[in-house]
Amino acid sequence: MAETQVYQASKKHYPILDGLRGVAAVMVVCFHIFETFADGNRFKQVINHGYLAVDFFFLLSGFVVAYAYDDRWGKMTQWDFYKRRLVRLQPMVIMGTIIGAALFYLQACDAFAPIALTPVWKMLLVMLVGFTLIPILPSMDIRGWAEMHPLDGPCWSLFFEYVANILYALFVRKFSKTALSILVFLSACFLVQYLIMGPQGDVIGGWSVDPTQLHIGFARMLYPFFAGLLLCRMGKLIHVRGAFWLCSFMLAIIFILPRAGDEQHLWMNGIYESVCIIVLFPLIVAIGAGGEIKGKRSAAICKFLGDISYPLYITHYPLIYTYVAWISNNKVPVNNGLPIGGLLLVVALTIAYACLKLYDEPVREWLRKKLWAKQA
């Protein structure tokens, strides 16, 4: 979108990174659809590592934030930075929460037992708090999963995204490459320690306000976000032909490969996910940022995927809640449920695109003009 002069015209985009963000968002939706039939068993997944898309998002975000803002601090205050990030992210947080509220009472089932006992006033209160992205405590849970954002679960990752942005604006933007490298190394150790020595052998979690889940959330956010910053500052990009298709294939393989090890060898999957997050994801971003789009069709695909990626990610989960309730209440087998899951994906894409064009882009443009009108 065009921006005002004060907001500064956008720099050159990395269209392949936009496209990869969309690929990861679609994979998240597919992961959640198949997850419905796993009965909460992390060893029965089909898209076994689809949740790693969130860690990939954090890495992309760190790279993009460094690229967009590192050289602007001489002409930009911290509040300017926060306003820009709020304008970019907050409108869709509100929309995702509204959709979650609208569908909430259609999701009553055994898996979400508290819904039937939740009064409307309490649901609306949780919705209003959700608009701010302030996490709610487990005592205010209205679904039964102890989520910090029970109307729209994925908002947990936006909470950590905001924490990462605040840490960047307050401190990390001033770090030298050496200091940033030390932070990234320590964050990698923090992540590996949890993955290999922790109780799960994976990074699933981060969405509740309790010590264990906050531990997971910070472990998932710190390394990839600040590794993305470091990768951008180093400028070591990789130039290969067909970068978008190669990187998309790599992401798909990473997400789909079977879980390593079993209940007695959790550390094996911990090693796999450590390698994916610490080595392969930065490699994919370096290839994507160093690649070029050849051909109008590839450019159009990357643009479409990039445009809908965030709206898709932040609005699809209320549909998943509803899908879970339908499966649970009707005891739907996999063969009958998956076609409806395919329809859910189409509906999720349609809602995301409609939200983008009819709400997100107009609201962001209005906010930009409003917030920077006086300076302009």
Q: What local confidence, expressed as pLDDT, does residue 352 receive?
A: 98
Task: Give the structural domain span for 177.
Answer: 15-372
Structural domain total, the chain? 1
pLDDT digit string, tens, across residues 75-120: 999 999 999 999 999 999 999 999 999 999 999 999 999 999 999 9
The predicted pLDDT at position 3 comes to: 38
pLDDT(42) > 90 = no
- Quote the pLDDT of residue 8: 46
CA distance readout (Å), 312 to 95, 152, 282, 354, 364? 11, 12, 23, 10, 17
Longest CA–CA span in the chain (Å) reads 62
pLDDT at 4: 35
d(CA 166, CA 79): 10
What are the tens digits of pLDDT across the range 114-157?
A: 999 999 999 999 999 999 999 999 999 999 999 999 999 999 99
Contact 132, 157 (CB under 8 A): no
Q: How confident is the model at residue 374 (pLDDT cuts 50, 70, 90)?
A: low
Tens-digit pLDDT profile for residues 44-83: 888 999 999 999 999 999 999 999 999 999 999 999 999 9
Q: Are 54 and 317 in contact (CB under 8 A)?
A: no
- Which ranges of the chain does DSSP label H, i.e. alpha helix? 15-35, 52-69, 78-103, 120-132, 155-170, 177-197, 211-234, 243-256, 266-275, 281-290, 296-315, 317-330, 334-355, 361-372
Q: Looking at residues 4-20, what average pLDDT do you find?
A: 71
Report residue 370's pLDDT band, with 50, 70 and 90 as the boundaries.
confident
- As given in the structure block, the two tokens for residue 259 are 């879980």
Q: Is residue 4 a part of any domain in this protein?
A: no
- Domain assignment present for 285: yes
pLDDT in tens, 287-333: 999 999 988 899 999 999 999 999 999 999 999 999 999 999 999 99
pLDDT at residue 80 in the model: 93
Task: Tell whether 367 is covered by a domain.
Answer: yes
| pLDDT(10) > 80 | no
Q: Please tell me the predicted confidence (pLDDT) of residue 12.
A: 75
* pLDDT digits 0-9 by tens, 206-240: 999 999 999 999 999 999 999 999 999 999 999 99
9 located within any domain: no
Does residue 6 fall inside a structural domain? no
- The answer to whether residue 7 sits within a structural domain is no
Return the amino acid letter for 105: Y
Q: How confident is the model at residue 40 (pLDDT cuts 50, 70, 90)?
A: confident
Q: Is residue 3 part of a domain?
A: no
In a domain, 1, yes or no: no
What's the token pair of residue 347? 């509906």
pLDDT: which is higher, 17 or 11: 17
